[in-house]
C-alpha cells in the first residue's frame, strides 16, 4: 500500500485529517504546507468555470488541472475526482482511472456513491487503483433541491451499509457530505477507515473544504462554509494601487524597466 495512504489510515482515532482542494500549482503549494490530503475536486466546475453542475466537468478538465496541482505538491496525498460519466462501467472506470494516475501522477481517485458503484470500486481496487469513497450529498447525481442526508432511519441505514460496502471493497477513506450529525458520528464509529466530513459535523475523522471558499475568493452562502480570511480585500487593494500608479505614471519606474 502507498505509504501516504497508510499514513492517512493510521490517523483514525488519533489526529484529525486536513483535506483541501487545489486546482493549480500556486494554490497547491500553499495547501500542501498544511493539508494531509490535497483534492483536485470536480468542484472546479463551479469555482473556475461557473458551471451549474459538476456533470459538465470533463476528464480533460480534471487532467489539465491535476497536472498543474502535482507540480505544487511535496508531501500531501493527492486525490483526483473522477468526473461524471467516466466510471459507469468496470472497463470504463479502469481505463479512465489508469489514465488519471498515469498522466497526473496522483496517489488515488475519488468516486461518488455506494452500492450503485461498488462493482466499479471493487474492480479498481482489484487492479491496484487506490480509491476514496464519497457518500451523502452527491453533486454528480443530485436532482432537485439540495438537502442534507441521513435524517430518516431508512437513509441512515442505507448510508451505513454503503459505508461498510466501500470499506470492505478496500476504499481507504470516505468523504461524508452534508450528512446529519448523529448519522455521520455513527458511520465514523463503525468504520475502521477515516471519514472526511464536509457539513457533517466535527465527529468525522477529518474535514474538507473548497479552498477558494474558505479564503473568500469564491462567494457562497452554503451553510457548512466558513470564511477564514477575505482574500478579495487584498486583491482589490493591490489592483487599486496598481491602477493609481499607472495613471500617475509612478509605474513602471526605472527599477521596473529595462
How much is the pLDDT for 65? 98
Q: Number of helices and strands (H, E) in the chain? A: 10, 8
How much is the pLDDT for 145? 77
Domain co-membership, 202 together with 184: yes
Taking the CB of residue 249, how many other CB atoms lie within 10 A of it? 8
Residue 143 has pLDDT above 90, yes or no: no
What cell does 225 get? 462554509
How much is the pLDDT for 1? 76
Domain co-membership, 98 together with 47: yes
Residue 142 has pLDDT above 90, yes or no: no
**Quick check: is 112 catalytic?**
no
Domain co-membership, 130 together with 95: yes
Domain co-membership, 181 together with 250: no
pLDDT tens digits, residue range 108-136?
A: 999 999 999 999 999 999 999 999 999 99
Taking CA atoms, 34 is separated from 20, 74, 211, in Å, by 9, 11, 12
Domain co-membership, 250 together with 130: no
Q: How does DSSP classify residue 83?
A: P
Range of the domain at 247: 231-258
Domain co-membership, 122 together with 242: no
Domain co-membership, 175 together with 98: yes
Reference 213, options 203, 204, 223; nearest CA is 223
How many domains is the chain partitioned into structurally?
Answer: 2
The CATH number covering residue 63 comes to 3.20.20.60
Residue with cell 511535496: 74
Mean pLDDT in residue range 78-103: 98
Domain co-membership, 203 together with 90: yes
Domain co-membership, 159 together with 236: no
Q: Is 199 left (phi over 0), alpha (psi -120 to 50) or beta?
A: left
Domain co-membership, 249 together with 190: no
pLDDT tens digits, residue range 207-234?
A: 999 999 999 998 888 889 999 999 999 9
Domain co-membership, 254 together with 154: no
Classify each residue of 156-167 as buried b or exposed e, where b means 16 or more C-beta atoms within 10 Å of its C-beta: bebbbebbebbb
What is the rounded distance in angstroms from the CA atom of residue 93 to the CA atom of residue 196? 23
Across all residues in the chain, what is the average pLDDT? 97
pLDDT tens digits, residue range 158-187?
A: 999 999 999 999 999 999 999 999 999 999
What is the rounded distance in angstroms from the CA atom of residue 45 to the CA atom of residue 95? 22
Domain co-membership, 212 together with 258: no
Over pLDDT 90: what percentage of the chain? 95
Residue 93 has pLDDT above 90, yes or no: yes
Catalytic residue, candidates 29, 30, 177, 244? 177
Amino acid at each position: 500500500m502507498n505509504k501516504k495512504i497508510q499514513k492517512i489510515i493510521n490517523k483514525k482515532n488519533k489526529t484529525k485529517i486536513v483535506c483541501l482542494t487545489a486546482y493549480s500549482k500556486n494554490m497547491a503549494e500553499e495547501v500542501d504546507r498544511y493539508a494531509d490530503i490535497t483534492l483536485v475536486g470536480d468542484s472546479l466546475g463551479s469555482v473556475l468555470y461557473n458551471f451549474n453542475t459538476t456533470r459538465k466537468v470533463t476528464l480533460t478538465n480534471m487532467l489539465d488541472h491535476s497536472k498543474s496541482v502535482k507540480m505544487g505538491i511535496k508531501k500531501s496525498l493527492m486525490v483526483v475526482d473522477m468526473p461524471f460519466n467516466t466510471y459507469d462501467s468496470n472497463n470504463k472506470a479502469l481505463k479512465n482511472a489508469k489514465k488519471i494516475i498515469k498522466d497526473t501522477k496522483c496517489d488515488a481517485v475519488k468516486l461518488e456513491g455506494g452500492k450503485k458503484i461498488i462493482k466499479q470500486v471493487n474492480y479498481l481496487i482489484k487492479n491496484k487503483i487506490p480509491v476514496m469513497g464519497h457518500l451523502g450529498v452527491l453533486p454528480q447525481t443530485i436532482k432537485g433541491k439540495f438537502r442534507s442526508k441521513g435524517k430518516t432511519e431508512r437513509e441512515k441505514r442505507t448510508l451505513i451499509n454503503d459505508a461498510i460496502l466501500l470499506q470492505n471493497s478496500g476504499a481507504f477513506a470516505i468523504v461524508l457530505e452534508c450528512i446529519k450529525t448523529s448519522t455521520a458520528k455513527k458511520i465514523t464509529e463503525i468504520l475502521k477507515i477515516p471519514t472526511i466530513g464536509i457539513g457533517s459535523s466535527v465527529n468525522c475523522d477529518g474535514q474538507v473544504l473548497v479552498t477558494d471558499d474558505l479564503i473568500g475568493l469564491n462567494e457562497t452562502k452554503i451553510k457548512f462554509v466558513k470564511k477564514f480570511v477575505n482574500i478579495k480585500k487584498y486583491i482589490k487593494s493591490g489592483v487599486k494601487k496598481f491602477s493609481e500608479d499607472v495613471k500617475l505614471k509612478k509605474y513602471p519606474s526605472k527599477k521596473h524597466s529595462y
